[in-house]
Amino acid sequence: MSQTLFEKIAAREISAQIVFEDDLVLAIRDINPQAPTHVLIFPKRAVPRIAEATPDDHKLLGHLLLKAAEVAKKLDLKGGYRLVINNGVDGGETVPHLHVHLLGGRHLAWPPG
Ligand code: 5GP
């Protein structure tokens, strides 16, 4: 199987602005930011999307969310922030490697478009 974009970033084959890394996850600045702070947090082990996660992934998924909150704290998003997971075509997914968007630094409207 060919590597996903985010696996290539984790392997340092493609460069990215890394804001956090541990043995399980990586957090990078989005190349096309939709807010003053727009970070992507993803597991190094590729899960295509949340709809394809299995019970075996539950620890990894918990870790991913906890680290997203830790990155938000590190980036000082005191006014609040939003975590988003896009799933499938209608959900706006473009990279088939599960990732959490962390958006902040401005007021975010609800409902989203
Ligand atoms: P999705 O649309 O799948 O939820 O999110 C994919 C995100 O990856 C998009 O926000 C897009 O801007 C970002 N992205 C796509 N290619 C690259 C890249 O090469 N580097 C970085 N840092 N972000 C990327």
Per-residue pLDDT tens over the stretch 51-64:
999 999 999 999 99
Could you tell me what percent of the chain has a pLDDT over 70?
99
- 8 A C-beta contact, residue 16 and residue 27: no
Which residues, judged by CB distance below 6 Å to any ligand atom, belong to the binding site of ligand 1? 5, 14, 16, 28-32, 40, 86, 92-95
Ligand 1 centre from 40 Cα, in Å?
8
User: What single DSSP character describes residue 106?
Assistant: S
Q: Does the active-site annotation cover 99?
A: yes
Nearest one of 29, 20, 23, 107 to 70, comparing CA atoms: 20
- What tokens were used for 31? 């190349």
| pLDDT of amino acid 74 | 98
Q: What average pLDDT does this structure show over 17-22?
A: 98
- Helix (H) or strand (E) holding 43, with range, is strand 37-43
Q: How far apart are CA 54 and CA 13, in angstroms?
A: 28
Structural domains in the chain, CATH included, are: 5-104 (3.30.428.10)
pLDDT at 113: 85
**pLDDT (tens digit per residue) in 73-98:** 999 999 999 999 999 999 999 999 99
Q: Is the pLDDT of residue 1 over 70?
A: no
pTM above 0.75, yes or no: yes
